[in-house]
Structure 1
Amino acid sequence: MSDWMQRLGLDADADERAIKRAYAKQLRLTRPEDDPVAFQQLHAAYQAALAQLGGNAAPAAEGVAPQASTDDVDHDAVAAQLLAVAGRGDAALLQQALQQQPELWSLRGKHHIGHALLQRLVTHEPALPRTTFNALAECFGWDDPVQGVDLHWLDAVARRCEQHWLLSPAGAPALARRYSDISETLLVPGSDVLPSLREPRPAWRNLLSTLQPSRAQQAISLLAALGYWHDLRLPPGLDAGQVAFWSRFGREGDAIHWQAGGLRALVISVVLGLLCTWGVVASWPLPASADGALDGGQRAALIIATAVLLAPGLWLTTRSMRALIRWQSLPEHAPSFLPGLRILTVPLAVAAVMGAFHLTLLNTTGDPFTALLVLPMASAGVLSMAGQRFVQRCAPAGQKAWGARMMIAIVLIVPALVVALVYWAKDLHAHRGQLRWFNR
């Protein structure tokens, strides 16, 4: 039994249809990107099978001139020539070259050239825009299900070639157009965002660059324009550490956001602390407080401490609120921390705010300015948590929990808490048969 019979699992009398079916079956198991050597062996066995099948064909009738043999054609040279034309990025020019290529007029020659061309695309990953790749796929029938080529794998090959094209000077305008379609931030011509993704940098430099709010969005949008999020494969020419850092930044909830946000809060707190220190020094000595409880030095220390702790406090409150909303918005079937407490969080929060409101009214003799400032913010937080929980778990896609209800929360306390309880009750009713009080 010959080698190609063993490789394809066929008998010697197999016809062309059986050979193509066996090759398609083996191609699903042997991916070029996973094992290039095995793929080349499979492709060689397939070519040998077709060659032997052609050799067993009946000879030409007497008096009829036989067609020129395609064995003398250098298929790799023709494939390289076609790739050179396709690399110009002009689909019309490529179509013209394909029509004028005499080696493609023979079906058998076209078949061999197509396989040689596809192997070059897998091995070398040349810079090709999607339009020219699609023109090649249509010409050689790679996207035809009869050929047995895995369309997902073919799309991955096309994406890799397109990434090479977008990162080349010729594809820079196309990359800019893609970026503008994805991001609302402006990528200034000559920006160093893309060059910085090409060179290795320490993590602390990336963290410092996050102090510029638009920098993170630009890097994430560039990765999206390159199609990185489809298969998470490193785009050609980019640094693995850079791509890993900014891809983590693109996932909400990743620990990298705590580091970047903490750095911003630290910088703001230092600036505010220095400004307040300068103001205190310029106004020294400070008078004592009106009630005499604090002298000038104590008042100065309180002012500086408040300025320093203001930004970190607001940041921690915001991050904690986002983490709480993510915890509340988990699907009911997903394992979570204390699922029973997660179900009762909204009514417990409503009870806590109402209790604090009641105690404030009982124990305040004058005008409760502080309570009237803090309690609406607390009620707004409870309403936001209940609304986001309901929207992400029950409401149709695109619906939001803001609007008039949020304005109510800012002005009034009790109506906002009532709306929060309504959201919570509707969510419980929608999941009444799925509620889990314990992780199983």
Structure 2
Amino acid sequence: MNWAFELLGLRPDADVADVKRAYARLLRITRPDDDPEAFQRLHMAYKIVLAHISAKATAAIMPTPTVVTHAEPTSRPPVQLALPTHADTTNVTEPVVHLGTLTNEIIRAAIEAQNSEELSRWLKNRPEFWSIQIKQQAAQLVLQRLFQQPQAIAAHCMDAMLKFFDLDHVLSGVNPVALQSLRARQRTLWELRPENHHELARRAGLMHNGRPEVLRVRKDLALLQHPLNWARVTLAAMQSKRAHGLAALVRTLSNNGRLDELPASVNRQHAMFWFRGATGGPLLTRERFILHSLRAGVWAFVTMLAVVVIAMMSAAPDGVHWSEVARVAGILGGGILVLWLLIAGFWWFDLWQGMPESTPSRWPWLRRLAIPLLCVLSFAMYETGNAPYMRWLVMMCFIAAMRKFRRRIAGNGSFFARITASTPAFIWISVWIIAALSRAQGMEDFPLIPILALATFAMSIADLWRHRAYLHPRLARN
């Protein structure tokens, strides 16, 4: 309080006119455009001094309430402050304000308020807040309670309450980061109410034809509130749209991926699985591998079942040859699983090779020489003629080298960066089409594989030269 009077250059017995004159005089030298912080501090001092003078004027005609700092049970009715009804004030009993009860009433009013105007009107009409001391102590207790146990308070009501208690600026002394986190958690709890699910769907982006999908949100919330169950996970994994919706819902409930801020009603293990498994991005996490493996397993089972059904429907007169059916079903189902494992292996290898050189790894030289060594081995086996399918491994080495070089170069806006920004499957198909066209035109002797092997070596050497500073200190000085 004293700092406000000192900043305005006033004495403690100054009146309202003195305060306004001092404020107008200081405004001439404290411009908000020149020094916003100084202006905000001056304005805050002006408000504090005016409130103090108003409180003194009120205290002259009204007895000062006694403050009780211990908490009272929430069932106790609020104490109403009333002015004496007769002129004789010598025997007036001082009213008692129980801060614990008052704190409970404030939080309950913020939870039940329909809008911010209703809450602001309720706070302004409370006679307890005519005392600045009670107002400040109540604000501290309210924040302390909310930090300990967040409540389902709408964001606009929380903002109105902070504004009333003058806690919506940096000079209030409250950590703004912690306050913003509290505001987000309380908004999430408010949106978890059934009547507010439309706001949760809108914030999570679960919309259909411009309208929030409330039923979908309720169905996904019911799933996330149960423990992780692989049967339910498999059923939801086969619905790609629902899997991404679950990830978006978890991201919204956790305040953009802060899983430690999830509501208590949501199962953390279940939510973490969908967030790490269905969230978009290049990383091959454990959860994403499990999710895609479940999908591959289901498709393999469906394919094998379809083979059995087709064999039974087109059975020969002498019956079904189950050994042949089992062989065909096993080849097709196993082929789907093997194909997924190959894709996952190349996915992991591609991410491993694309790591920045500054990232610590267990075998850095193995990561640097893996592509050229693998290319040499596959090319040598291809040239011997014993393994002609090794041409595909050479192509894969070429694709991996291209993507590694593209992600580790500095100029992402170059032409090479743009033409190599596609997925590995697209480049693989392009190389396969080139090879097919070369053979279709009678170019059997076209040295496609040697050219790809040479290009792989060239990109590997260029990548090593670009990052030579990590190979040896002398190369860094050169």
Common fold by TM > 0.5: yes
Shifted more, 159-168 versus 135-144: the winner is: 135-144
Matched, 1:239 2:242: no
Per the TM alignment, residue 315 of structure 1 is displaced from its structure 2 partner at its CA by: 0.8
In 2 relative to 1, CA 16–402 (structure 1 residues): closer, same or farther, beyond 3 Å?
A: same
Does the Cα contact within 8 Å between 2:398 and 2:452 map onto a contact in 1?
yes
Which of 60, 72, 76 does residue 65 from structure 1 map onto?
60
Give the whole-Å Cα distance in 1 for the aligned partners of 2:244 and 2:370: 33
How far does residue 175 in structure 1 lie from its aligned partner after superposition? 0.7
CA shift digits 1:47-83 (9 cap, x unpaired):
xxxxxxxxxxxxx99xx93764243334444444443
| Offset at residue 143 of structure 1 (A) | 4.6
1:222 and 2:249 correspond: yes
Aligned pair in 2 of structure 1 residues 148, 218: CA closer, same or farther (>3 Å)?
same
CA deviation digits over 1:374-419, x for unaligned, max 9?
84x5455334423443454445679663359937534335566566
Query: Cα RMSD (Å) of the superposition?
Result: 4.2
Q: Which residue of structure 2 lines up, in the alignment, with residue 326 of structure 1? A: 351
Aligned partner (choices 284, 306, 312) of residue 253 of structure 1: 284
Identical aligned pairs, as a percentage?
A: 22
Aligned-partner SS, 1:237: coil
Q: Within 2, Cα distance between the matches of 1:314 and 1:357?
A: 22
1:128 to partner: Cα distance? 1.4
Number of residue-to-residue matches in the alignment? 360
1:3-152 paired onto structure 2 within 5 Å: 65=60, 68-71=63-66, 72-87=96-111, 88=113, 90-152=115-177
Alpha-carbon spacing, 1:247–1:91, altered in 2? closer, same or farther (3 Å): same
Match of 2:89 in 1: none
How far off is 1:258 after superposition?
3.6
Q: Point out which structure has higher relative CO (alpha carbons under 8 A, 6+ apart).
A: 1
- For 1:65, the aligned partner's letter is A
How far has the Cα of 1:86 moved from its partner? 2.9
Larger radius of gyration: 2
8 Å CA contact 1:329, 1:393 repeated in 2: yes
How far did 1:350 drift?
Answer: 3.6
Residue 421 (structure 2) aligns with: 402
Alpha-carbon distance in 2 for matches of 1:235, 1:93: 27
What is the deviation of 1:321? 0.9
C-alpha distance in 2 between matches for 1:67 and 1:419:
91
Q: Secondary structure at the match of 1:318?
A: helix
Q: Partners in 2 of 1:182 and 1:80 — Cα distance?
A: 37
1:199 alignment partner in structure 2 = 226
What does residue range 254-273 of structure 1 map to in structure 2 within 5 Å?
Answer: 254-273=285-304
Asked whether the equivalents of residues 383 and 409 of structure 1 are also in contact (C-alpha less than 8 Å), the reply is no
Deviations 1:177-230 (A, max 9, x none): 11117999x984423211111233534432443233233222211011113512
Note closer, same or farther for the CA distance 1:309–1:104 as it changes in structure 2 (3 Å cut): same
| Structure 2 CA distance for partners of 1:417 and 1:73, relative to 1, 3 Å | farther
SS of equivalent to 1:65:
helix
Q: Deviations over 1:225-255 (max 9, x none)?
A: 1135125233132234422433453574343
Unpaired runs of at least 5, structure 1? 1-14, 18-59, 287-295, 365-369
Larger displacement relative to structure 2 (334-343 or 296-305): 296-305
Unaligned 5+ runs, structure 2 = 4-54, 67-95, 435-447, 473-478
CA distance in 1, matches of 2:142, 2:374: 65
* Residue 240 (structure 2) pairs with residue 213 (structure 1): yes
| Cα pair 2:206 2:245 within 8 Å, conserved | no
- 1:189–1:432 distance in 2 versus 1, CA, 3 Å: same
In 1: Cα distance, 2:115 partner to 2:411 partner: 44
Amino acid at match of 1:330: M
TM-score by length of 1: 0.67
Give the Cα separation in 2 of the matches to 1:257 and 1:243. Answer: 13
TM-score normalised by the chain length of structure 2: 0.62
- 2:470 corresponding residue in structure 1: 434
CA deviation map 1:124-163 (0-9, x unaligned): 4211122322332333243544443222322232222122
- Whether 2:189 is the aligned partner of 1:164: answer yes
